[in-house]
Amino acid sequence: SFEVKLASSGRVIRVAADCTVVQALSAAGVSVATSCEQGVCGTCLTRVIEGEPDHRDMYLTPEEQAAGDQFLPCCSRSKSALLVLDL
Ligand code: FES
């Protein structure tokens, strides 16, 4: 598992292995707009301020994925213990 931190409030939310970032945020009362929930549409695109996303989507280009400053939280995860999100 890993944690995400909301830049606006400083809240830290744990993302369990069997749960997506969107699901963990939703359970904590933070809603992110989604549509496909499969990493295809880009609706849930979220800016990453700190940490290293583990990209699992088919939406971002390889260059965008390598830049690491945005990710698709409906399917992507984290390589670092903490991701700070622009939420
Ligand atoms: Fe479609 Fe996340 S909801 S990419």
Please tell me the pTM assigned to this model. 0.96
- Percent of the chain exceeding pLDDT 70 equals 100
Q: Cα(44) to centroid of ligand 1, in Å?
A: 5
**The pair of three-digit structure tokens given for residue 9, joined into one six-digit string:** 């409030």
- Residue 24 CA to residue 40 CA, distance in Å, equals 20
What residues are in contact with ligand 1 under a 6 Å CB criterion?
34-37, 39-44, 57, 59, 72, 74
- pLDDT given at position 2: 98
Amino acid at 19: C
- Residue 87 CA to residue 18 CA, distance in Å, equals 22
- Percent of the chain exceeding pLDDT 90 equals 100
Cα dihedral 42, 45, 48, 51 in deg (nearest 10):
-50
> What ipTM is given for this predicted complex?
0.99
Q: What is the mean pLDDT of residues 30-48?
A: 98
Q: Cα(76) to centroid of ligand 1, in Å?
A: 10
